[in-house]
Structure 1
Amino acid sequence: MSAKTLLAEYSSWLHSASTLGEIAPCTDKELIDRLRQIILEEPDLHNSLRNDAFSLIDRGLQNKADLLSALKDIADAFQTLEQASLHLYCTPWRKELHTIRTFSGHYVHVLGAALPQDALFMAFKKLGYEPQENGTCLAIRVQPSPQTLLGSALGFLAAQLECRILADIVLCSGPALVSGTDLIRERRSWRGEASCMERLKRLTVEAKAAPSAKSPATLDIYESGCEDSNGEAPLYRAEFCDVCHKPGDQHVNGCCKIRTEHLVEIKRPGSLQPGEGRGHTLGPQVDYAMHDCVFLEKSLRHRCAECRAFHSLSCPVVGRCKGLGHRVTRLTTSEKLEAVVEEQGKKHQLHFCLQPGHLPHYRCGNCRQLHYINCEGLLECRRQGHNANMIMLEKDQRLWLQRSLMDMSVLCKDSSK
């Protein structure tokens, strides 16, 4: 069933409900069950609805240990957003709906508790709201068309149902052993609950097979006080390979055969042409993210397997990861090159609207460009349904600018010298 057909059914339900004087999120069981089944088998429907469901849910699950509780909060937030869409659609003349105070109790305790600020701003932008007064309120300048508001309401309903689907999967897969990032990635890759659950169960079995940070095999690394040749306490070294899951001592010359077969020629960052990079790296590091500390210190040293993040030499987050028992390893020279080439492919470029001395106010995740405020190119991105986010804080604006201008090859230098 197409998004257009679903929108027609949703519109029919709404007009029937509105004749009773009710403006509330959809409660039509037949429509909800049909929409849930379609989403379950075709998660790409979210793309057709342009609701950014997976992106928003992923942001809401970051650093959350209790995924079930977090998913419930995010679902409640989407329900609130659906109701906001319907209010604007049914009563566009109500001026009090055109301004939202971000310090109000409902905003803070229902929306803010579920999603970070930039994710909420991205969601409300679909309804025409823009941040005002340094983010203390959201206001509508130009109200979207009724069709756009109706489509947004359906999209938020679909996102709410996605949260319910993910919660069901977590219940069967083990909430303590599955991260939000793993959950989203597997859900998008596998059709239906059964296949996704099976895949996540295999991941949890693999996670159980890996030794904990305080296991007897690695206790001496943390508590013996011994140091390596650089005068630093050795980090946790996993007993099993992250790629083939075999004991590390079974590798030939310390190299994983599967990893070697998947890695193709890695070009040095300085030789990359525009748009190159992503095609030269396969393997386990492509879904890792660079922590902000890497760009602030211009060094690349550690990798946390659980957080799926790269860190600099003296990042304080690494200490917390080790304390939680995460698998934190030191990157080899080839692994640094691989990570830098991948990051080069994801690097944002400066749009021509950014003149010298300007800081970027928006970033487009599809075009990989940074924009100045009121850029016409950004408006075109939004018309095409791109994921264009506001960069709220000045320190973050400076960091994104620094990232775009940085010579990535400096990250490969030996940061211990």
Structure 2
Amino acid sequence: MGSTTLSEDYRLCLERELRRGRAGVCGDPSLRAVLWQILVEDFDLHGALQDDALALLTDGLWGRADLAPALRGLARAFELLELAAVHLYLLPWRKEFTTIKTFSGGYVHVLKGALSEDLLTRSFQKMGYARKDNHSLTVTAPAPARQLVQVALGCFALRLECEIMDEVLARLGTSLLPAEALLEARRASGDVASCVAWLQQRLARPEEPPPLPPRSSLAAFGCPLDLYRDLAEDEISEEESSLYCQAPPQPMKSSPLPSATSAHEEQAYETPLWEQSAQVWGIGGPAWEASADSPPYGALEEQPEPPPFSFLTLRQELGRPADFASPEDFAGHSCLRSGVLQPSLGEPLRRPWLSRSRTDTLDGAPWARP
């Protein structure tokens, strides 16, 4: 089966799925089985389907210490590239598919986690994308439908190749081997069993493994394929990364309200005033007791001793006319007549309450005779 026949079968598969209401990557099991068998027997078919297929496989596996997770991440990246080409072929009128944001979750975590930036740009250029700025790729001139189908088929074949090599590693019993050894064994063998035998002979010879260059983080497995939506690191997780629209608003993270007991943890607890009063006067609580080493009440403030009482001094004070008022000044009690203490305008200000108190004191006390 040639590449032209494969492209036609792949196109029919996509259109059949679209009529069923599904616009996605090819999921036909019969086409998958046929292409799997052809790739196992003829590795060079990748070059016929896509000119840079070997470069994509080499770039995705080079420098990986463990090839098994690297193959799964690379298959995820090829699936995402296939999906982008399928969207442009089946739904060219959808404007959201004409712009790919290079900071979206799918681009950052899946594509850049597996492939270099140069190869990614080249793959998107085959679909008609061109770099608009540092943050997006935009379709300037739509690629022909036949070319979009060919690109999608090439990515589909590369995805199957990752699954074939993953099965080789599973039969081999280890995935800790150089990437060039696995690719060389795949090109030199005609089936999975012969590939495993070739690698077993290769691993039996002791060799010093070359130092592994640092690589970026692995692609996120299990997250939805998406290339068109923004990635906000504080709001979108890898499972929610998208390609087509803005990220859905996430609920604001509310900080827990401080409890009544933890509001003033650093401050010492102070007994309320009413509890202090109850403790002091012995009401509703234990009676207050002074400590043994505390001074007695009132010892801190020394009160001056009052002078001895003398009626002569009192009489002299009451004898001053300015402080003494006549009885007629007290026509009534202050509670019966309001304003009795208010002097009329033009009269001197008097202090009848002071004089009355002194008079009452004088009436109730015995007169001292000279």
Under TM normalisation by the shorter chain, which class is it? 0.5 to 0.7
2:142 aligned with 1:143? yes
1:45-87 CA deviation, whole Å, 9 max, x = no partner? 1111125222112101122112110100110111111111111
Task: Find the aligned partners of 1:125 and 1:307 in 2 and give their Cα distance.
Answer: 33
After TM superposition, give the deviation of residue 307 of structure 1 in Å: 4.9
Contact 2:67 2:176 in 1 (8 A): no
2:1 matches 1:97: no
Q: Structure 1, residues 271-330: CA drift from partner, whole Å, max 9, x if none?
A: xxxxxxxxxxxxxxxxxxxxxxxxxxxxxxxxxx5259xxxxxxxx8xx9xxxxxxxxxx
Q: What are the within-5 Å matches in structure 2 for residues 15-414 of structure 1?
A: 15-50=15-50, 52-134=52-134, 136-207=135-206, 210=207, 306-307=210-211
Q: What is the rounded CA distance, in whole Å, between the counterparts of 2:191 and 2:122 in structure 1?
A: 28
Cα separation, partners in 2 of 1:199 and 1:307, compared to 1, 3 Å:
farther
Q: Deviations over 1:373-395 (max 9, x none)?
A: xxxxxxxxxxxxxxxxxxxxxxx
- AA of the residue aligned to 2:2: S
How many residue pairs get matched? Answer: 214
- Return closer, same or farther for 1:164/1:176 CA change in 2, 3 Å cut-off: closer
Q: Is the 8 A contact 2:60 2:115 kept in 1?
A: yes
Q: Moved runs in structure 1, 4+ residues, more than 3 A?
A: 174-177
2: CA distance, partners of 1:188 / 1:96: 40
AA aligned opposite 2:46: H
3-state DSSP of counterpart to 1:194: helix
Higher strand residue share: 1
User: Which protein has the larger Cα radius of gyration, Structure 1 or Structure 2?
Assistant: 2
Note the C-alpha offset of 1:128.
1.7
RMSD, matched Cα: 2.0
Question: Which amino acid in structure 1 is aligned with residue 210 of structure 2?
Answer: E
Task: Return the letter of the residue paired with 1:306.
Answer: P
Inter-partner Cα distance in structure 2 for 1:120 and 1:10: 23
TM-score, reference length from structure 2: 0.55
Query: How far did residue 25 of structure 1 move?
Result: 0.9
CA deviations on 1:4-50 (whole Å, 9 max, x unpaired) are: 11111112212211111210111111110100100110111111112
Alpha-carbon contact 1:99-1:139 (below 8 Å) kept = yes
> Quick one: structure 1 residues 15 and 191, their matched pair in 2 at CA, closer, same or farther if it must change by over 3 Å?
same
Stretch moving more, 178-187 or 80-89: 178-187
Mapped partners of 2:41, 2:120: distance in 1: 27
Where do 5+ consecutive residues of structure 1 fail to align?
Answer: 213-304, 309-316, 321-417
Greater share of residues in helix: 1
C-alpha contact 1:39 1:45 (8 A) present in aligned 2: yes
Confirm or deny: 8 A CA contact 1:51 1:156 kept in the other structure: no
Cα distance in 2 between the residues matched to 1:158 and 1:177: 24
Indicate the percent of aligned positions where both proteins have the same amino acid.
37
Q: Shift in Å at residue 152 of structure 1?
A: 1.0
- Residue 16 of structure 2 aligns to a residue whose secondary structure is helix
- d(CA) in 2 for partners of 1:28 and 1:163? 18
Matching residue's letter, 1:197? V
3-state SS of paired residue (1:92)? coil
Contact 1:40 1:191 in 2 (8 A): yes
Judge conservation of contact 2:102–2:108 (CA < 8 Å) in 1.
Answer: yes
> What runs of 5+ residues in structure 2 fail to find an aligned partner?
215-370
